[in-house]
């Protein structure tokens, strides 16, 4: 017997945008809409029409998008007190938005009616009925979000049930029970849904917040109880602790529970969509996010890595390819020889028949990590360490010396200058550069010197620079670790440098970055 399809309702553009520090422009919202449609989300809540100029413009412009899979939804509340639905501005904005679907939020918790809305319980029921009936008569598909339903049910179950029964009788196409405070747990969700299904026949949905850390689990529990619509946001964005994370819900439904909510051929897009929305929202992606995070299928412990090499899936709950992710092996002081052998293959180095050399590399790595190096995010430096220890490393240049000066006169800004003297074969090169800081000036001078011989260096740029003090108790004499991230537009890699002198630590990371990047360029050109 086929399981009923569950419809996905994304509210990233409205509820998700209520996250602290998150602001989406109209262009941002349109880009996200296009990406969600590509993923195959059934409903995209675009915003609250009429609440601000941004949402007004969005609903005008979204009509021009050729969406193939998704319906755009306008969100708003039931009519106001003392105003009929036809005269209520918020209700009229639904009509002006021009969407096929409207989602109305109404009160279902008695104390919210009496103390927040300041109305009688009976009058709230009239507001719900009038608003839904008005929109249904105008041909809209109408969803009713029963706000604070679970708190309302626990406080006054009879009244909470009356609100959704009223919505059903008024013609609501789906009734969504909202855990607006996010305080429910899965057992409560399932029990309440079972009772609600005895009272109404209209299809039900779930809208969960994550204040108790249970939003995803609550959504899955609701599906087990028979709901046919799940509301949530990409990456769990939302007010306070966020909304239910659709990026976790989708693969749990499809892969774990066998419940169709997306075609399986869309699942590999999940990681891409998650990262795409993260970039647009300008929020750093959580590397440990289930399914799609960079670390979701990363292995660091030696036993885990060895087992994973022998048996696929030994330490992975799914094949990462299913959701568009990748397995990663991290090299660190916790690694074993299996990790070194596996990692070396990424750089076309076969150590499988060289156990003594592999052990030598592992011992060197552990010694360096004890000194403060950190290779799990520095693949570029690990490759150079690897090649130095197997004899295939050839430096691109030899340093004669570098000199950095920082000066400041009067109230002016500090001035930083760097001079680099290097040898490439038998050619001595001297270059000078100014920068906004010592490392920037040094980077510029080195690049000017090397670019004469290696012009493809222009394609490589530094994207991130981090400094961490290793032994803070030594104060200004402490050892520092510098991590640099670089890219050539297609690939990204990290490098690391460690020293008591921050400039020397930075130099080590810079040199590794350039040598690894140019090495990749050489390999790509040969291919």
Helix axis angle for 186-197 and 157-170, nearest 10°, is: 50
Distance CA 389, CA 397 (A): 18
Please give the pLDDT value at position 463: 85
Please give the pLDDT value at position 304: 47
Distance CA 365, CA 384 (A): 12
Q: Provide, rounded to the nearest whole percent, the portion of the chain with pLDDT above 70.
A: 90
pLDDT at 387 over 50: yes
**Of 29-38, 79-88, 303-312, 337-346, highest mean pLDDT:** 29-38
Q: Which is higher by pLDDT, 109 or 480?
A: 109
Q: Provide, rounded to the nearest whole percent, the portion of the chain with pLDDT above 90.
A: 58
pLDDT at 402 over 60: yes
According to the 3-state scheme, what is the secondary structure of 23-47? CCCHHHHHHHHHHHHHHCCCEEEEE
pLDDT at 279 over 60: yes
Distance CA 71, CA 50 (A): 19
Please give the pLDDT value at position 373: 80
pLDDT band at 69 (very low <50, low <70, confident <90, very high): very high
Distance CA 505, CA 496 (A): 8
Please give the pLDDT value at position 522: 63
| Beta carbons within 10 angstroms of residue 33's beta carbon | 23
Distance CA 356, CA 341 (A): 12
Q: Comparing 48-57, 324-333, 493-502, which segment has the lowest mean pLDDT? A: 324-333
What length does the chain have?
527
CATH code matching the domain that covers 7-17+24-262, chosen among 3.40.1410.10, 2.60.40.420, 3.20.20.70, 3.40.50.1240: 3.20.20.70
Please give the pLDDT value at position 317: 79
pLDDT in tens, 509-521: 999 999 988 887 6
Please give the pLDDT value at position 472: 60
pLDDT in tens, 299-338: 654 444 444 455 465 566 788 888 887 766 555 445 566 6
Phi and psi at 140, nearest 5°, equal -85, 145
Helix axis angle for 121-137 and 157-170, nearest 10°, is: 20
Instruction: Calculate mean pLDDT across residues 209-221.
Output: 98
Query: Which of 371, 430, 367, 432 lies closest to 404, judged by CA?
Result: 432
pLDDT in tens, 354-379: 888 788 877 877 788 777 787 767 78
Could you tell me if 75 and 45 are in contact, meaning their C-beta atoms sit under 8 angstroms apart?
yes
Could you tell me if 331 and 363 are in contact, meaning their C-beta atoms sit under 8 angstroms apart?
no
Order across the sheet with 415-424: list the strands. Answer: 398-407, 415-424, 427-435
Please give the pLDDT value at position 399: 92
Helices (H), 98-230: 110-115, 121-137, 149-155, 157-170, 186-197, 215-224
Show me where the domains of the chain are located: 7-17+24-262, 398-526
Are 7-17+24-262 and 398-526 equal in CATH topology? no
Please give the pLDDT value at position 444: 92
Could you tell me if 416 and 406 are in contact, meaning their C-beta atoms sit under 8 angstroms apart?
yes
0.75 surpassed by pTM: no
CATH class as words, domain 398-526: alpha beta
Distance CA 486, CA 504 (A): 18
| 391 φ/ψ sector (left φ>0, alpha ψ -120 to 50, else beta) | left
Please give the pLDDT value at position 305: 44
| 417 φ/ψ sector (left φ>0, alpha ψ -120 to 50, else beta) | beta
pLDDT at 150 over 50: yes
Q: Which residues contact 120 (CB under 8 A, 6 or more apart)?
A: 113, 114
Please give the pLDDT value at position 527: 45
């Amino acid at each position: 017997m086929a399981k009923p399809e569950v419809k996905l309702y994304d509210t990233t553009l409205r509820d998700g945008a209520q996250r602290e520090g998150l602001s989406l422009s109209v262009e941002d919202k349109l880009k996200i809409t296009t990406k969600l449609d590509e993923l195959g989300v059934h409903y995209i809540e675009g915003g609250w029409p009429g609440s601000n100029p941004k949402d007004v413009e969005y609903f005008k412009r979204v009509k021009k998008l050729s969406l193939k899979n998704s319906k755009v939804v306008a969100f708003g509340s039931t009519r106001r007190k003392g105003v009929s639905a036809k005269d209520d501005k918020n209700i009229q904005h639904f009509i002006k938005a021009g969407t096929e679907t409207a989602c109305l939020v109404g009160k279902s918790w008695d104390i919210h009616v009496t103390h927040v809305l300041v109305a009688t319980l009976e009058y709230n029921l009239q507001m719900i009925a009038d608003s839904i009936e008005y929109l249904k008569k105008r041909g809209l598909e109408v969803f009713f979000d029963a706000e604070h339903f679970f708190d309302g049910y626990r406080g006054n179950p009879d009244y909470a049930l009356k609100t959704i029964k009223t919505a059903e009788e008024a013609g609501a196409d789906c009734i969504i029970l909202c855990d607006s405070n996010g305080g429910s747990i899965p057992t409560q969700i399932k029990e309440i849904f079972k009772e609600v299904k005895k009272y109404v026949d209209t299809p039900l949905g779930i809208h969960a917040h994550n204040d108790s850390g249970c939003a995803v689990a609550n959504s899955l529990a609701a599906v087990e109880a028979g709901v046919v619509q799940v509301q949530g946001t990409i990456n769990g964005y939302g007010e306070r602790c966020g909304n239910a994370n659709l990026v976790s819900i989708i693969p749990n439904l499809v892969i774990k529970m066998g419940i169709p909510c997306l075609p399986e051929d869309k699942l590999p897009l999940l990681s891409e969509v998650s990262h795409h929305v993260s970039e647009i929202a300008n929020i750093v992606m959580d590397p440990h996010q289930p399914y799609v995070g960079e670390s979701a299928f990363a292995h660091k412990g030696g036993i885990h890595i060895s087992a994973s090499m022998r048996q696929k899936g030994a330490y992975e709950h799914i094949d990462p390819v299913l959701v568009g992710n990748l397995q990663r092996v991290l090299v660190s002081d916790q690694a074993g020889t299996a990790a070194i052998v596996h990692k070396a293959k990424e750089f076309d180095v076969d150590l499988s028949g060289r156990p003594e050399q592999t052990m030598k590399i592992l011992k060197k790595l552990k010694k360096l990590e004890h000194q403060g190096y950190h290779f799990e995010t520095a693949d570029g430096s690990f490759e150079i360490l690897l090649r130095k220890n197997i004899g295939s490393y050839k430096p691109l240049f030899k340093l004669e010396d570098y000199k950095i000066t920082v000066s400041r006169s009067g109230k002016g800004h500090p001035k930083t200058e760097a001079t680099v003297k290097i040898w490439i074969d038998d050619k001595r090169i001297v270059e000078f550069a100014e920068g906004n800081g010592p490392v920037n000036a040094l980077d510029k001078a080195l690049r000017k010197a090397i670019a004469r011989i290696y012009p493809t260096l222009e394609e490589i740029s530094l994207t991130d620079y981090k400094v961490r003090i290793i032994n803070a108790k030594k104060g200004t004499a402490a050892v520092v670790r510098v991590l640099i991230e670089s890219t050539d537009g297609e690939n990204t890699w990290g490098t690391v440098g460690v020293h008591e002198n921050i400039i020397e630590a930075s130099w080590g990371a810079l040199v590794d970055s350039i040598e690894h990047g140019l090495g990749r360029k050489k390999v790509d050109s040969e291919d």
